[in-house]
Amino acid sequence: MLFGFTWDTSHGELAFAISILPILLMGLLVTIEASIAGFAVAMVLGLIFAVLKGAPSRFISWPATFITEFFRDTPLLVQLFFLYYVLADHGVILPAFLTGCLALGVQYSAYTAEVYRAGIEAVPKGQSEAARALDFSPLHTFTHIILPQAIPRVVPAFGNYLVSIMKDVPVLSVVTVLEMLGVAKIIGDQTFDYMVPLTMVGGIYLILTIVCSGVVRYVDMKLPKTGIPLK
Amino acid sequence: MEWSEYVKPLMQGAWITVQLTVYSTILGAICAFAFGIGKLSSNWAIKGFSVAYIEIFRGTSLLVQLFWLYFALPIAGDAIGINLRLPPVAAGVLALGLNIGAYGAEVVRGAIQSVRYSQYEAAKALNFSSRQALWRIALPQAIPEMMPAFGNLAVQNLKDTALASLISLGDLAFAAERIRNFTQDSTTVYTMILFMYFGMALVVAGLMRLLERAVGRWRTVGH
């Protein structure tokens, strides 16, 4: 029994599959929550890194570049263990779910930082020169000229990373987050039938990623390529 | 225990990680070319199979694939009377290789499609068969274009090998977990393996850049 649902192992595979579907869907909910929370962390951290990497002083930009390289080149699993055990050793005790979202965010911040930079650099230089000629302040230029034009360029890449994060959430099950794969594993451990729950998880993932990729493509198609007014 | 005493078990784990990376990258490269070219095939059966492979392995989580191969496949084998109980190494290499191969297949397909159409027209004008056009015209131009993406995928693959520790494969992450269980000294151990993975990633990236330079001379002049 899990989440108040019991499984039915005595009426064949189909009955078993139907009986565990609500349990897996509860797990799916956690998967989606973790993806969104992890993505939010990655968006914020990524923006900070993008700004730091673009800083005029080398004393800021080089360490920032090193840190993002380090985050990008080390496995999510090890980063997760590091956060989970090492933070706890130093008195910072976070719930497993939060640690997991933080690890996802840290790993993907290295990728989102690049997306931010590429998006901002893709806006023609003439735009900021024109803004300066029209006496816009630097902040005003960024929020009203650069950002609106950068957003349509970065949305598809961010969408793809959101899908990638979703596929990395199962790693969180190793620190006892009950997301979909963790739930399926528990069902398998208790019923000795891994085949049905794991295949169902695969199927649900396939549907989820195909739907999400479709949404990303649709949004990309619908976004005005010239920019989005932020007012 | 001093940190220097961790080095030996960690190195043993790192050696497994290296082997796992090499074998699964090779398998991944084979899958990438086979199914990337297969997706462009005019034979609908080959094309359909390639598309299904790419969608399934790109569309599901690597950990799901790994668990499926390790835990679920033996049960499927029992049902049809074949022993499909894979040792952890085989399940690990297979899952990692098939997964990274699906991503690589999209790279291969994209690079082949980016070869200019006039190149194929020229090949046809010179009476090349479509097989010759693929092997002698399209691929030599497409492979250098694939290399940067392949470099990223190889590093990705190295990072993904850490997941194999979850099916009790004694790789670097597994060795670290064992030491942590034994000594509770998680700060030292995990800091060490973070830097070991980082170092290995730099080596992999460097090797891929050498390979990139080696195939770079296949680029046509004035391309």
Output the CA angle A204-A109-A120, nearest 5 degrees: 110
Question: Which A residues in the span 107-146 are in contact with B, Cβ-Cβ below 8 Å?
Answer: none
Domains of chain B: 18-169 (1.10.3720.10)
Question: Which A residues in the span 15-34 are in contact with B, Cβ-Cβ below 8 Å?
Answer: none
pTM, to two decimals: 0.90
Whether residue A82 lies within 8 A of chain B, CB to CB, comes out as yes
Cβ <8 Å between B162 and A77:
yes
Q: Are B145 and B219 in contact (CB under 8 A)?
A: no
Nearest chain A residue to B75 by CA: give it.
A195
What CA–CA distance (Å, rounded) separates A111 from A158? 9
Nearest chain B residue to A164 by CA: give it.
B61
User: How do the pLDDT tens digits run along chain B, 223 residues long?
Assistant: 677 888 888 999 999 999 999 999 999 999 999 999 999 988 999 999 999 999 999 999 999 999 999 999 988 888 888 888 888 899 999 999 999 999 999 999 999 999 888 888 899 899 998 888 888 888 988 999 999 999 999 999 999 999 999 998 888 999 998 998 888 888 889 999 999 999 999 999 999 999 999 988 877 655 4
Considering CB atoms only, which of A77, A85, A181 is closest to B186?
A85
Whether residue B55 lies within 8 A of chain A, CB to CB, comes out as yes
Considering CB atoms only, which of B56, B58, B193 is closest to A78?
B193
Count of beta carbons in the 10 Å neighbourhood of residue B34: 16
Alpha carbon separation from A199 to A101, A115, A205, A206, B61 (Å, rounded): 25, 34, 10, 11, 12
Q: Residues of B with CB below 8 A from A185's CB?
A: 67, 71
Instruction: For chain B, give percent helix, strand, coil, nearest 5.
Output: 85, 0, 15
The ipTM (two decimal places) reads: 0.90
A12-222, what's its fold? MetI-like fold (1.10.3720)
Whether residue A167 lies within 8 A of chain B, CB to CB, comes out as yes
Beta strand extents in B51-186 (DSSP E only): none
What CA–CA distance (Å, rounded) separates B90 from B159? 18
